[in-house]
Structure 1
Amino acid sequence: MGLLAVSGALGLTAPSTASAAVATAATAAGGLAHHTPLSARSALKRLMAGNCRFVKGEMIHPHQCPERRLDVATHQEPFAQVFSCIDSRVPPEVVFDQGLGDLFVIRTGAQTLDELVQGSVEFGPLEYGTPLVVVMGHQRCGAVVAAVESLEHGKDLGPYLNRIVSALKPAYDAAKASSVPKHKLVDATTRWQTTLTVRALEADPRLAPLISAGRLAVQGAYHSLDSGRVTWF
């Protein structure tokens, strides 16, 4: 289970007027103020507020000025980490309306996880105290489409892409076992891949103690290409 079971239960479906005012003021000032470390919940609120702006077309493009570039040239304090797909339509910094130094971002095809990638996921929480890791799948994921076609029809994608197919097979099997209609198989596989990746990270022997201590949360998410909205599970 991630930080949120239902986002609306915490009243996080839209940014508050105060939050928007703070963000606007920070942007006007060049975004140079250093923040105390956020909690996972506060970090999630910040991501949700940014996504709300993205959906409405009211982005403020924070922390993208020359002053911010110089400010973070010698240090960084990302408030969250997003592990998502390589798809060109889902850049986390845009989807969440963030800027330089705000996010650690890790991207692989269909957010597939191996030992090398897991080490990258560990980096933010262990080395910088980043309190939130978001695993984000998305609508019409090309990697999942290719993997499902390969698994359904025995199509060989070559030695390296076949590794992605193998990594997605547990999610595919879970989706098939849930008896979803064929036209929803790709979407169900994407959602299962996100869920299984969250579970794997929560079981990471170096991250689990941080989660138990309340210093880290791993949160699943799904991005709609049609609406731009990120939903949480």
Structure 2
Amino acid sequence: MISATEALNRLIEGNRHFVSEAESSTLTDQTRRTALLAGQEPFAIILGCSDSRVPAEIVFDQGLGDLFVIRVAGNIVAPSQVGSVEFAAERFGTPLVIVLGHSKCGAVQATIEELERPQESRSTNLLSIVNRIRPSVEPLLETKAADSHDTLMHHAVRANIRASANHLRHGSQILENLIQQGKLLVVGAEYSIETGVVDFFDGIPS
């Protein structure tokens, strides 16, 4: 298995390839499918948003068996997501976790709307997502960021990414042990729907 730094560089290069609109060279054919019958060794775990505009394999230009992808609205961290990350990190020795949020995130937008104008009609299921995003977004309403919706959204998306990444770093004894042993790196990143560029901004090794 490659190192976390090598895995991160592979994702960075893959995103550059995607943004350049060059023809993808990822392996998705019968030969690759056959090779994976014996098992998988994904080099990165992606905890991303379910938004249809942010398919991880495509934006990182990766093929079958390369990424272990977990998707949920708002890239939130609940017990099932933590368990999924633990599973991949332990079972496959995957050294890198990327929490991938994105610009114009609908779940973050819904959270801001709920904070500004609570709606009794929201389902309890949707509120379970909103309430996980709320703690990272609510303090921003008391800052100058709240003066502009676009600025508020930008800061809220990033605050939510940081919160999810920190939850993975400190909300699981298994993951925390792997991090302390240098076997796992958790990085927060934001995908720009406008440009296609992924900005890795949280937890990057010095």
TM superposition score normalised by structure 2: 0.92
Among residues 153, 157, 161, which one is paired with 1:194 in the alignment?
161
Deviation by residue 1:107-154 (Cα, 9 ceiling, x = unmatched): 111111111111011111111110000001101011111121122111
2:75 counterpart residue number: 111
2:84 counterpart residue number: 120
TM superposition score normalised by structure 1: 0.81
1:154-173, aligned counterparts within 5 Å? 154-156=118-120, 157-173=122-138
Runs of 4+ displaced beyond 3 Å? none
Query: Relative to 1, partners in 2 of residues 1:99 and 1:127: Cα closer, same or farther, differing over 3 Å?
Result: same
Deviation by residue 1:1-20 (Cα, 9 ceiling, x = unmatched): xxxxxxxxxxxxxxxxxxxx
1:140 counterpart residue number: 104
Q: What residue identity is the alignment partner of 2:157?
A: T
Mapped contact 2:48–2:100 kept (Cα < 8 A): yes
Shift of 1:72: 0.7
Query: Relative to 1, partners in 2 of residues 1:106 and 1:222: Cα closer, same or farther, differing over 3 Å?
Result: same
Mapped contact 1:133–1:217 kept (Cα < 8 A): yes
Q: Partners in 1 of 2:166 and 2:187 — Cα distance?
A: 10
1:28 counterpart residue number: none
1:22 counterpart residue number: none
Mapped contact 2:77–2:168 kept (Cα < 8 A): no
Query: Relative to 1, partners in 2 of residues 1:168 and 1:57: Cα closer, same or farther, differing over 3 Å?
Result: same
Among residues 52, 57, 64, which one is paired with 1:93 in the alignment?
57
* Pair 1:51 & 2:18 matched: no
3-state SS in 1 of match to 2:154: helix
Deviates more, 1:182-191 or 1:38-47: 182-191
* Pair 1:218 & 2:182 matched: no
2:196 counterpart residue number: 228
Deviation by residue 1:23-72 (Cα, 9 ceiling, x = unmatched): xxxxxxxxxxxxxx010000000000000001110142411111101111
Q: What residue identity is the alignment partner of 2:84?
A: S
Q: Please report the RMSD computed on the Cα atoms of aligned residues, expressed in angstroms.
A: 1.2
2:40 counterpart residue number: 76
Q: Partners in 1 of 2:133 and 2:15 — Cα distance?
A: 27
1:66 counterpart residue number: 30
Mapped contact 1:221–1:232 kept (Cα < 8 A): yes
* Pair 1:182 & 2:148 matched: yes
Shift of 1:177: 4.3
3-state SS in 1 of match to 2:187: strand
* Pair 1:130 & 2:94 matched: yes
3-state SS in 2 of match to 1:222: strand
Aligned residues: 197
